[in-house]
A = this chain, B = another copy of it.
Amino acid sequence: MNSPENKFSVFAGLDLGATDLKYGLVNAAGKILVSKKAPVKKGRQILAAQLQDAAAELFITASGKNWSVARIGVGSPGAVNFETGEVMGNSPNITGWVGVNLRKISDGLGVPVYADNDANCVALAEHLFGAARNCRSALCVTVGTGIGGGLILNGEVYRGSSFSAGEIGHITVVFEGEKCSCGNRGCLEKYVSVTALLKQAKENLVKNKKSGWKRFLENGKLTVGAIAAAAKMRDKTALELLSKQAAYLGAGLASAVNLINPEKLVLGGGFLDAYPEFLEMVKKEIRKRAFAAAVKSLKVVKAELGNEAGLVGAAFLGWEY
């Protein structure tokens, strides 16, 4: 019963974010069995060691439960070479990360290791177990601090010719628009994101001191939750801010729809959790802008796996091999 062959197989996933490293063990049905979290450490070497320690910790946890870890996956911001595990593109949030080989963090643990971009992990998880199940093509978009995007085409994660595909946050929606940290101008995420919403809300509060908003602040702080609460009370300013975000997001997504014509758009992130009506607002904007033939077959749906999609997706990297 307890011979290694009969051990219960689990998959280890590590999801490196801007602030937290989430890591855990997932079963073959995509269920998270163990979930841990730690603040991301600064510095290339230190962070690589943190990932290594987290992987080792998961092995020890599994061993204690008499489980066998069959595979490790790491999701990271930036472009990641899926063939080699090397970080190829910079991420604004983690400096000096280019060149790190994420497959090496688990050298010596004796199981296959895979690494991919974090938004690709989210797309994979939604494709296997969430809102993009049983569909051939989907764009999975997470609106958070910025906008993450992962593409499913022909039933697989589509990584592009140099592992950089899916970056819907960095398509230009305003030709001569705001400068983005990526070097481009007028990127979608400069207009739609938690960052952008809070910035716009602050500007609005400064301009419009009479607004009854103060009652919606959370401990005096402006948050997405506070804006959503105000919108639920039909506060005009909050509704206008959210409408504007929906209009920009709709324009960006309509561009993607006209270019890729996916079966599904899967939307997730802070906005939708705080203000579910946002999904309908975005749908309306897409219908206004995208080709009728493409919209007719399009389903715009809420992501199902929430904050842990990245971890689950990471654990399932390489599942098809």
User: What is A's interface to B at a CB cutoff of 8 Å?
Assistant: 79, 88-90, 136-137, 149, 151, 153-154, 158-168, 170-175, 177, 182-186, 191, 247-248, 251-252, 254-256, 258-263, 288-294, 296-298
Q: Which residue of chain B is the closest to A172 with respect to CB atoms?
A: B251
By a CB distance below 8 angstroms, the chain B residues around A288 are: 183-184
Give the shortest distance, in Å, between A259 (CB) and chain B (any CB). 6
Residue pairs across A and B with Cβ atoms less than 8 A apart, 22 shown, are A88-B293, A90-B292, A136-B161, A137-B161, A151-B259, A153-B154, A161-B261, A162-B261, A162-B293, A162-B296, A164-B294, A171-B258, A172-B173, A172-B255, A175-B191, A175-B251, A182-B291, A183-B288, A183-B289, A184-B258, A256-B259, A260-B260
Q: Is there an interface contact between B259 and A168, defined as CB atoms closer than 8 Å?
A: yes
User: Complex Cα distance A88/B295, Å?
Assistant: 12
User: Complex Cα distance A183/B164, Å?
Assistant: 31
Q: Is there an interface contact between B293 and A161, defined as CB atoms closer than 8 Å?
A: no
By a CB distance below 8 angstroms, the chain B residues around A89 are: 291-293
* Cβ-closest 10 pairs across A and B: A160-B261, A89-B293, A171-B255, A162-B297, A165-B261, A164-B294, A161-B263, A167-B258, A164-B261, A79-B293
